[in-house]
Amino acid sequence: GQSLEQPSEVTAVEGAIVQINCTYQTSGFYGLSWYQQHDGGAPTFLSYNALDGLEETGRFSSFLSRSDSYGYLLLQELQMKDSASYFCAVRGTGGGNKLTFGTGTQLKVEL
């Protein structure tokens, strides 16, 4: 099976940098994704790591280390609108493209 663990809640101030970690146990996967979900909203794609290393997309960056079974999402220049839940997810190699999601991290951005 696959399991992905995240901190349940992170709080940071506007303008700061925050890192959301994701540790996983899986027999194999194509890549690690990150999704953002505002209260009552749909998950939206943020970033994807197929290979080890850092991927940068504007204010958001994501990192993957397969040897450490670990990844993280880095958010820079935090804005109030970044207050949301963030989920890591893996697309497994067992056939099909289904996503297995992490437990989710609720980010609160304060003034």
Partner 1 sequence: NAGVMQNPRHLVRRRGQEARLRCSPMKGHSHVYWYRQLPEEGLKFMVYLQKENIIDESGMPKERFSAEFPKEGPSILRIQQVVRGDSAAYFCASSPPEGGSREQFFGPGTRLTVL
Q: Which residues bind partner 1 (CB under 8 A)?
A: 30-31, 33, 35, 41-45, 48, 50, 87, 91, 95-104
The distance of closest approach from Cβ of residue 40 to partner 1 in the complex, given in angstroms and rounded to an integer, is 8
Closer to partner 1 at the Cβ: 49 or 109?
49
Ramachandran quadrant class, 103 (left: phi over 0; alpha: psi -120 to 50; beta: rest): alpha
Residues sharing a CB contact under 8 Å with residue 60, sequence separation 6 or more, in sequence order: 34, 46, 47, 73, 74, 75, 76
Closer to partner 1 at the Cβ: 48 or 70?
48
Sheet holding 18-25, edge to edge: 3-5, 18-25, 70-75, 60-65, 53-57
Closer to partner 1 at the Cβ: 71 or 104?
104
The distance of closest approach from Cβ of residue 33 to partner 1 in the complex, given in angstroms and rounded to an integer, is 7
The distance of closest approach from Cβ of residue 111 to partner 1 in the complex, given in angstroms and rounded to an integer, is 25
Closer to partner 1 at the Cβ: 56 or 77?
56
Give me 21's structure tokens: 């970690």
The distance of closest approach from Cβ of residue 20 to partner 1 in the complex, given in angstroms and rounded to an integer, is 13
Determine which helix (DSSP H) or strand (DSSP E) holds 31, and give its type and residue range: strand 29-37
